[in-house]
Structure 1
Amino acid sequence: MSSDLTEQTITGVVQQTFDTSTDDRFRQLFVSLVQHLHDFAREVRLTGDEWFTAMDFIERLGKISSPTRQEVVLLSDILGLSMLLDTMHESPGGSVTASALLGPFYVEGRPTADNGADISNGVAGTPMFVTGRVVDERGNPIAGAHVDTWHSDGVGFYDVQLTEQLHGEFAMRALLTTDDDGWFWYRSIAPRYYPVPTDGPCGEILGAANRSVMRPQHVHFWFRADGYHGLITQLFLKDDSYIGRDAVFADRTSLQADFVHHEPGPAPDGTTVDEPFVTLDWTFTLAASTDQ
């Protein structure tokens, strides 16, 4: 290996250090990464001070991240990388429900719930009744599908942001299972639009770009069923004022839904509600897996 490296030759020298890898995909990824990273530095004539700023930024991403604060995921989201991957790998032809990013507020260990349960865990807000059906591309019901769902409260906060008020308990999130006809349903409270966290490194990027930091009102879903590709998606209030300005580019037209407002009276679950409430109904279509 020559020690007389130049601006142009160093890229190839670094790439050659991956030639001994026995993992072809690993080698492909890192050879390409080095190429693009070096090309970027040359194209913008990256300075030493800018490099130090970038290294400090990456360090702070890690330091502020936690099991309930995924700042690295948020960076991927605000740079559009998360949605790029979703669109690259979703089923072609548009016959299944569109995907939308996982987001930084998904957590493991969420409680399971029976269909019809109130998953709000006592958090105050406008009652919301969600009814969904999971089907295949022919419209046949998928029984036994696992349905993760989570959303913010009526102010715009997730349970992981309300640990003191909730004493560490989960709220507005649960794992349900579809019945024999593919249905799942639950009660919660209506979410609200909210800003992505701006008190960390990602907030600095959004501020410097004078970009919107807001997310339209939405509910998250993650579907998994034997014989089908998993689906991570969101449903958005189509009349939300922040539609078209989603900070993470996830508010796809096909995922914009009616959050229907009702006056006090009978609810979808057969109960009577003595205050205004909201209903959300949607059919989710999963793609069959070929890995069988």
Structure 2
Amino acid sequence: MSYYFTVKDSVKVVQGRVGPKANKRAKFLLDTLVKHLHAFIKEARPTMDEWNYGINFLTRTGQICNEWRQEYILLSDVLGVSMLVESLNHEKMSGETESTVLGPFYIPNAPQYEYGANICLDGKGEPVWVFGRVIDNKGRPIPGAKLEVWQANEDGFYDVQQKGIQPEMNLRGIFHSDEKGRWGFRSAYPRYYPIPFDGPVGDLLVALDRNYNRPAHLHFMVSAPGYEKLITHIFTPDCPWLADDAVFGVKESLIADFKMVDDPARAAELGLPNPFRQVEWNVVMAKA
């Protein structure tokens, strides 16, 4: 093999430049990336203009990122990479709740609420009661589990997309399961929405004539000592975009049953108008 770069030996030459003290995992990851990236270039044979466009696309992707918008996560999402990494790392074997993508709009340190609180601060949308239990795969309760929840509002935007328009921390909250694993809160019935469309990822979807909507959903991040952290959604069953999610995040097991309830006494107890929607969702966690 030549030490000098040729098309034929490009992969071996680049892989051969790694020093003897290289981190083994880093070397494996980079060797694999180089192998497949060079194979892509040799098959696609991009022109210099196309390659420069690709470099500029990645540059613009980084430039549009800020403290509340992560365009690289969005790019990973629409290419199906986020779901593939998530699925490979969290294969469920014993009936645990399936995971899905984090998405670009999670922010830490949301307000902590008590059982039954209302996280819909702008008052928009159809009220819904969301409740369930956190349990293990044997059905045993997991007390003290931390549930972080967030969603878009009735207009199809997250609070961080509408600074000064939506109340701060609208439709976000942190809850903890009680001694029987129970949790519950009031919110708004989720609706579908477009992913951010004004950046390079939006340009990519236009070029590919792809759908840019996400099906209606609620986000959950659930954690408890001794258990794997779970990142998941629950989807509404009547959404028209379930089979065409822009980020490939829908799993059939995550489509929930949002029921209409006509019970004036229960509505008054929950502080909701009657009739109202409710969804019961039990989170089944996997041992760490």
TM range (shorter): over 0.9
Residue correspondence of structure 1 range 39-58 to structure 2 within 5 A:
39-58=39-58
Per the alignment, residue 216 of structure 2 pairs with: 217
Structure 1 residue 256 corresponds to structure 2 residue 255: yes
> Which secondary structure does the structure 2 equivalent of 1:27 belong to?
helix
Q: Quote how far apart the aligned CAs of 1:2 are.
A: 6.2
Per the alignment, residue 279 of structure 1 pairs with: 278
- Specify every segment of 5 or more residues in structure 2 that has no aligned partner in the other structure, as ranges: none
Cα distance, 1:92–1:259 mapped onto 2, change above 3 Å: closer
> Which secondary structure does the structure 2 equivalent of 1:165 belong to?
coil
Q: Quote how far apart the aligned CAs of 1:4 are.
A: 3.9
Q: Quote how far apart the aligned CAs of 1:90 are.
A: 1.6
Q: Quote how far apart the aligned CAs of 1:275 are.
A: 5.3
Which residue identity is paired with 1:80?
Answer: G
TM-score, length of structure 1 as denominator length? 0.93
Q: For residues 5 and 150 of structure 1, what CA distance do their matches in structure 2 show? A: 50
> Which secondary structure does the structure 1 equivalent of 2:205 belong to?
helix
Q: Which stretch shifts more, 133-142 or 11-20?
A: 11-20
Counterpart contact for 1:71–1:104, Cα < 8 Å: yes
Q: Quote how far apart the aligned CAs of 1:265 are.
A: 2.8
Q: Which stretch shifts more, 91-100 or 248-257?
A: 91-100
Which residue identity is paired with 1:197?
Answer: P
Q: For residues 268 and 25 of structure 2, what CA distance do their matches in structure 1 show? A: 50
Counterpart contact for 1:127–1:276, Cα < 8 Å: no
Structure 1 residue 243 corresponds to structure 2 residue 236: no
Per the alignment, residue 143 of structure 2 pairs with: 143
Counterpart contact for 2:214–2:246, Cα < 8 Å: yes
Q: Quote how far apart the aligned CAs of 1:268 are.
A: 6.2
Per the alignment, residue 37 of structure 1 pairs with: 37
Counterpart contact for 1:219–1:234, Cα < 8 Å: yes
Counterpart contact for 2:130–2:186, Cα < 8 Å: yes
> Which secondary structure does the structure 1 equivalent of 2:282 belong to?
strand
Per the alignment, residue 159 of structure 1 pairs with: 159
Counterpart contact for 1:217–1:240, Cα < 8 Å: yes
Which residue identity is paired with 1:158?
Answer: Y
Deviations along 1:175-218, one digit per CA (max 9) or x if unpaired, are 11111111111112222101111111111111111111111110
Q: Quote how far apart the aligned CAs of 1:122 are.
A: 3.5
Counterpart contact for 2:92–2:98, Cα < 8 Å: no
Q: Quote how far apart the aligned CAs of 1:274 are.
A: 3.2
Per the alignment, residue 206 of structure 1 pairs with: 205
Q: Quote how far apart the aligned CAs of 1:243 are.
A: 1.1
Cα distance, 1:43–1:60 mapped onto 2, change above 3 Å: same
Q: For residues 214 and 16 of structure 2, what CA distance do their matches in structure 1 show? A: 43
Deviations along 1:44-70, one digit per CA (max 9) or x if unpaired, are 112211110011000100111112111
Per the alignment, residue 74 of structure 2 pairs with: 74
Aligned-residue sequence identity (percent) comes to 39
Per the alignment, residue 181 of structure 2 pairs with: 182
Counterpart contact for 1:18–1:31, Cα < 8 Å: no
Q: Quote how far apart the aligned CAs of 1:9 are.
A: 1.9
> Which secondary structure does the structure 2 equivalent of 1:270 belong to?
helix
- Specify every segment of 5 or more residues in structure 1 that has no aligned partner in the other structure, as ranges: none
Counterpart contact for 1:129–1:268, Cα < 8 Å: no
Counterpart contact for 2:99–2:233, Cα < 8 Å: yes
Q: For residues 172 and 60 of structure 1, what CA distance do their matches in structure 2 show? A: 30
Counterpart contact for 2:196–2:202, Cα < 8 Å: yes
Q: For residues 43 and 212 of structure 1, what CA distance do their matches in structure 2 show? A: 27
Cα distance, 1:273–1:5 mapped onto 2, change above 3 Å: closer
Structure 1 residue 63 corresponds to structure 2 residue 63: yes
Structure 1 residue 128 corresponds to structure 2 residue 165: no
Q: For residues 47 and 266 of structure 1, what CA distance do their matches in structure 2 show? A: 69
TM-score, length of structure 2 as denominator length? 0.94
Deviations along 1:20-46, one digit per CA (max 9) or x if unpaired, are 343110110011111111111011112
Q: For residues 269 and 180 of structure 1, what CA distance do their matches in structure 2 show? A: 25
Structure 1 residue 13 corresponds to structure 2 residue 13: yes
Counterpart contact for 2:60–2:200, Cα < 8 Å: yes
Which residue identity is paired with 1:66?
Answer: N
